[in-house]
Amino acid sequence: MNFIIYMATSLDGYIADEEGSVDWLSKYDEINYGYNDFIKKIDCIVMGGTTYRQILTFGDWSYTSQASYVLSSEKSENANVQGFYNNIDNLLDELRAKKYKNIWIMGGAKTCQSFINRGLVNSFDLFLIPDVLGGGIKLFENINDELNLSLKSTKNCGNKIARLTYTIGK
């Protein structure tokens, strides 16, 4: 299994503002990030409860081609979600049993941190957004150990955003 974090972050390291919103990203919606190519390679998505509830406010479910799982103590009825898990170990058992190849750890920060701290993340696709939020939710807030990352590639997206792709060094 290949666990990938594909996420935007502000120049000062925040993935959401102080209210947990990602609305600050909307002014960059027209920029081609390579999302369409990325999502075609993904067969499974894992997200936390807050991210799940936020996605529900966006309208129709955009991930019908991928299996989706929610890591949350709150369960909900949604035909598009294969399972709700309040325990990461039970979720991992399910993912292993299904033999998914490329799993996008969509967010939020706590869910990403849980996978990072277990040493499961294989790569990061981070989009450095030229905004300074000054506060909010950080992706790398509660990381237990130093991460040894190797820069795999960089890309200029729309002369505004830097796409940084890292793999985990062994």
One-character DSSP codes across 85-116 = ES-HHHHHHHHHHHT-SEEEEEE-HHHHHHHH
Indicate the average pLDDT of the chain.
Answer: 94
Q: How far apart (Å, rounded) are the C-alpha atoms in residues 66 and 58?
A: 17
| Per-residue model confidence as pLDDT tens digits over 9-20 | 999 999 999 999
**What is the share, in percent, of the chain residues with pLDDT greater than 90?**
85
| Per-residue model confidence as pLDDT tens digits over 26-59 | 999 999 889 999 999 999 999 999 999 999 988 8
Domains of the chain: 2-168 (3.40.430.10)
Pick the residue with more confidence: 74 or 124?
124
| Per-residue model confidence as pLDDT tens digits over 138-166 | 999 889 889 999 999 999 998 899 999 99
pTM of the predicted protein model: 0.94
